[in-house]
Amino acid sequence: QVQLVESGGGLVQAGGSLRLSCAASGLVFSDYHMAWFRQAPGKEREFAASISKSGHATYYEDSVKGRFTISRDNAKNTVYLQMNSLKPEDTAVYYCAATGSSLYYTRPDAYNYWGQGTQVTVSS
């Protein structure tokens, strides 16, 4: 049974930082590209960042480029999202997801497995 478990969310002031983690089990982690999506209240789930199976390639949505950094540790079966210079508009539930297809896919339906999400709230 595949499980993706996110952690690290919380409440932070604008301009602050958070580091999200997603621990994977039940799959061969290094066989999957990993991604972070987010969903704000009343909005559709949107792509934020992805990383290749090896960790050598990354891809970011324009609004987070330069502020967020995605990374992974295949020895620990974990993917991370370092979020700096946070803005109130970054407030959302953040989900990690796994795909065997391509790290450049930004549609949620391209991803095979999902975590339960972690709440990130940025106050102004």
**Whole-number pLDDT of residue 102:** 86
Residues 1 and 37: their CA atoms lie apart, in Å, by: 22
Phi, psi for 76 (deg, rounded to 5): -105, 0
- The pLDDT value recorded for residue 79 is 98
Predicted confidence at residue 1, as pLDDT, reads 95
Surface-to-core class of residue 74, CB atoms within 10 Å of its CB (0-12 exposed, 13-18 middle, 19+ buried) = middle
Mean pLDDT per segment of 10 residues, for the chain of length 124 residues?
98 98 97 98 97 96 98 98 98 97 91 97 96
